[in-house]
């Protein structure tokens, strides 16, 4: 028997942020990043907190290191916050999750409500019990997975993502696509998550390119924001796979943005998982799953697993090209020597990453290195 639940309440649509006015006489600890403060973005949120006391903690950086988490916990304790609102991309939300968890574990604080407000359409962190924190000294990324960090409420307000630059739109959008492709072939896949994944694949291929070229297209932005959230709901119950396992390790060492790293790896990880070599597929069951996703793009019925996998890879590469994203590490700007000198440590870290555990095939260290070499 499986137990599947989606505990986060979702407030979505135009003006969703106004729901914060329901908060009364709370001590709201707002976790965000410097850009949100400097650009005045945070004001869109705090104007709805007039019936509460609030404190803004904005010392958040990409891939939040432990020292930032500790600093946030100290301010949360001093402020006596009882409500956390995270505003920003995955880094701000992940940091807020870590502050809540370690604050409750070590400082005996009590957070009554945790609200996540994403300002990018990519991580799905607003509806997951996942967080990633970084040990700055080694660049090691540590996944934190526990229901205790699941947001109580997610606010999806399209107005907050209308100004996201094209490059970040592309990176986050490809992260969404990677989430659902990995969830769909995960060893923990189930029919409920499948339905979410299939819908998200359609939404991404129908809307991401439009949102990239025309950021003012409100419908495309809204659809990608919903797709990101739905992808998070899917992988929260299935976990992910090798693509994210490698991306976590390689991103930390090579300093490539997460979504961009996923996009570089995705076609080759699909080929590996399906056993696509010499015109054949050796992992028929996984190949058939990938082929089913092609039907979501074409609205057709693909009966040949090999052709389906090849079509999926082709569609991903075409979308990646339309989004002007690099297809290899060297296209991104890294040298082959730089990647090769880190490949063993990346492979070792990828193998012990929690996401790799639910990959349809458990790779060897040599096979991970081979994937890295294939995208040099």
pLDDT the model gives residue 268: 97
- Residue 167 has a pLDDT of 97
- Please report the domains of the chain, with CATH numbers, ordered by start residue: 9-161 (3.40.50.1970), 166-374 (1.20.1090.10)
pLDDT tens, residue by residue, 60-75: 988 888 999 999 999 9
Task: Identify the pLDDT of residue 79.
Answer: 96
Predicted local distance difference test score (pLDDT) of residue 348: 96
Residue 4: predicted pLDDT: 82
CB 103 within 8 A of CB 77: yes
C-alpha distances in angstroms, 315 versus 101, 201, 296?
40, 11, 12
Q: What is the pLDDT of residue 2?
A: 72
Tens digits of pLDDT across the chain (376 residues): 577 889 999 999 889 999 999 999 999 999 999 999 999 999 999 999 999 999 999 999 888 889 999 999 999 999 999 999 999 998 999 999 999 999 999 998 899 999 999 999 999 999 999 898 888 777 677 778 899 999 999 999 999 999 999 999 999 999 999 999 999 999 999 999 999 999 999 999 999 999 999 999 999 999 999 999 999 999 999 999 999 999 999 998 999 999 999 999 999 999 999 999 767 889 999 999 999 999 999 877 888 999 999 999 999 999 999 999 999 999 999 999 999 999 999 999 999 999 999 999 999 999 999 999 999 9
Nearest by Cα to 201 from 217, 184, 187, 185: 184
127 touches 229 (CB < 8 A): yes
* Residue 1 confidence (pLDDT): 58
Strands in the chain per DSSP E = 9-12, 27-31, 53-57, 83-88, 113-118, 130-135, 140-145, 153-156, 276-277, 280-281
How far is the CA of 95 from the CAs of 9, 42, 69, in angstroms?
A: 20, 17, 6
Q: Can you give the pLDDT at residue 64?
A: 87
Residues 224 and 121: beta-carbon distance below 8 Å: yes
The number of CA neighbours under 13 Å toward the Cβ of 33 is 18
Tell me what pLDDT residue 278 has. 67
DSSP letters, 187-225, are TT--HHHHHHHHHHHHHHHHHHHHHHH-TT-HHHHHHHH
């Amino acid at each position: 028997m499986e137990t599947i639940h989606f505990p986060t309440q979702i407030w979505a649509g135009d003006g969703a942020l106004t729901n914060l006015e329901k908060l009364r006489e709370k001590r709201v600890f707002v976790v965000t990043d410097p850009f949100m403060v400097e650009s005045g973005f945070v004001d869109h949120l705090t104007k709805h907190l007039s019936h509460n006391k609030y404190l803004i903690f904005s010392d958040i950086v990409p891939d939040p290191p432990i020292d930032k988490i500790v600093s946030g916990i100290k301010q949360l304790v001093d402020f006596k916050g009882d409500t956390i609102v995270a505003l920003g991309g995955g880094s701000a939300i992940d940091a807020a999750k870590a502050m809540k968890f370690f604050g409750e574990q070590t400082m005996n604080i009590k957070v009554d409500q945790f609200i996540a407000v994403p300002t990018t359409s990519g991580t799905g962190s607003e509806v997951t019990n996942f967080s990633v924190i970084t040990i700055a000294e080694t660049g090691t990324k540590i996944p934190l997975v526990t229901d205790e960090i699941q947001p109580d409420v997610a606010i999806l307000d399209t107005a907050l993502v209308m100004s996201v630059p094209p490059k970040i739109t592309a990176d986050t959008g490809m992260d969404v696509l990677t989430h659902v492709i990995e969830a769909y072939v995960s060893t923990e896949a189930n029919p409920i998550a499948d339905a979410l994944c299939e819908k998200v694949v359609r939404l991404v291929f129908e809307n991401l390119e439009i949102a990239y070229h025309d950021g003012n297209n409100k419908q495309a932005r809204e659809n990608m924001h919903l797709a990101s959230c739905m992808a998070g709901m899917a992988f929260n119950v299935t976990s992910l796979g090798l693509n994210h396992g490698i991306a976590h390790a390689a991103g930390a060492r090579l300093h490539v943005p997460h979504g961009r790293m996923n996009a570089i790896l995705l076609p080759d990880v699909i080929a590996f998982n399906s056993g696509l070599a010499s015109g054949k597929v050796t992992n028929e069951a996984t190949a058939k799953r990938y082929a089913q996703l092609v039907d979501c793009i074409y609205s057709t019925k693909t009966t040949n697993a090999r052709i389906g996998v090849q079509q999926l890879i082709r569609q991903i590469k075409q979308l990646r090209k339309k989004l002007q994203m690099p297809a290899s590490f060297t296209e991104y700007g890294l040298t082959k020597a730089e990647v090769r000198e880190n490949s063993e440590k990346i492979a070792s870290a990828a193998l012990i990453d929690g996401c790799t555990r639910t990959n349809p095939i458990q790779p060897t260290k040599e096979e991970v290195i081979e994937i890295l070499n294939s995208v040099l």
